[in-house]
Chains A and B, each alone.
Chain A
């Protein structure tokens, strides 16, 4: 089995991070009138916040001497270059853009990433647990499956020890720690770290860092979507209710009007 971890030692590990271009998390999304999707024209785009955490974690591994190189990969339209530049400005060493105008769903993204990973042979892949646009929460797990690698999802702590990683995961009842063999896929949860801001000198430096572009065709992957979006609609609006003047009034209403206590 493909296992580069045993081929390279210590500080010669490579980390690969995947970064997605999404509508900025501060933008209030609007559903298009024709119900085909949400409005993206003239809307601010940014890196998926969970992927920023992934970039930060990879950089920390490099700063700790565990990892030698951090590669940032993005997939999609040419403007995904900007998302890669953001990762490079944070400190990633180089970028890979898999360029396509096709709609990419997680299964296709996982297949494309697998093809890139087979060229790059990283020992660890770190990506956000979900993208804040489609909220799928699939890509990392799918990628691990296709590679035959272990997965540690929803990570809040990552420690690399030799050819293993010990990862603490955010689970419904609290925390769970697993030990996984490298190479592996780790997906990030919010409390893993606080991503750094790119400094101006680093933004300038990032402009000179290399980005290689490839296509799904060159990677031998058919990215055709398996899910067809029939329509996108606004959820039913919730109406505001009444203000109450006192705790007594509140308890009365909950008891006698809403009948929930």
Chain B
């Protein structure tokens, strides 16, 4: 058995989520005694394949370089994976929006059920996955010949991005499907780390009252090298864009330190951050449910607490 991991990338760099999927693949490989390969499908994406070849524990990198794979359109990439899948026992991808979009299309074309968003590997055919927004964990066994799996990144510590030297093999592109085309992307530009790979995250909720108050969070974030997130309530209220959203319907994160500011702690938010190592809650309502899961709670007015926190961190950095 051999496990194929679909790389997440932007044609220039390998995205960290790939390394978490490789870690899950390595566990499956260990359970069944097989190798791990990475597929890099993109346009002028050889640098990504070279980065993938350095990932520890990877035996081979497949490179499919074609203009039709440029934006990872599922209609074009799925046939490639279907063609390649015949040689594999498992096909994995990170459970990012990219992986979630692509993999069910592949699974259906292979006539197999996908196993979505796994959080643990029990054996080569049995996996644990969260259901009901993480309020229950299901252990499921697949009866299909090829296992198509998406991986919850926060559940698997990333594989080392260096130390490997896998050969790169070019594979022939499949013809474009001609069903869809990329028009444009409006991606948030930020100097701060990405939410899903940040070591520290500070998130604001409805208590922030307005998007204009988010700079209070950003100042603290910059002192800590943190990413800035938000609850669904803050996104729904239009304070910040949706890609800030942490929760069941947003991003799933598990940083070393998660600071929730003015967030009450709705189930849907907790589903996205409760696996963080250390949780801090800052809220003026001492009954807020977020305090029930926080390691450190501070009851107070965030408009006073945040500037104080900023000042305290500045003082200690001197």
Contacts and interface: CB of A to CB of B under 8 A. Distances in A.
A29 B137 CA distance: 12
B296 A174 contact: no
Interface of B: 71, 73-75, 78, 96-98, 100-109, 111-117, 126, 130-144, 177-188, 196, 200, 224, 232, 235-236, 241-243, 248-249, 251, 256-257, 267, 274, 277-280, 286, 291-299, 305, 308-309, 312-313, 316
A72 B111 CA distance: 26
A174 B185 contact: yes
Contacts, number: 247
B243 A170 contact: yes
A106 interface: yes
Interface stretch (A80-88, A130-138, A205-213): A130-138
B97 A136 contact: no
Nearest to B117: A135
A184 B200 CA distance: 40
21 contacts: A135-B116, A135-B117, A141-B104, A145-B108, A149-B179, A151-B105, A152-B180, A170-B97, A173-B188, A175-B243, A177-B183, A177-B184, A177-B186, A178-B183, A189-B242, A189-B249, A191-B235, A230-B141, A247-B298, A247-B312, A250-B298
A258 B182 CA distance: 46
A176 to B, nearest CB: 5
Q: Is the interface of A mostly helix, strand, loop or mixed?
A: mixed
Nearest to B122: A230
Contacts of A170: 97, 242-243
Contact of B115 (A28, A227, A248): A227
Interface of A: 23, 28-29, 31, 38, 105-107, 110, 132-146, 149-154, 156, 166, 169-181, 184, 189-191, 225-235, 238, 240-244, 246-248, 250-251, 253-255, 258, 260-261
A35 to B, nearest CB: 9
A227 B188 contact: no
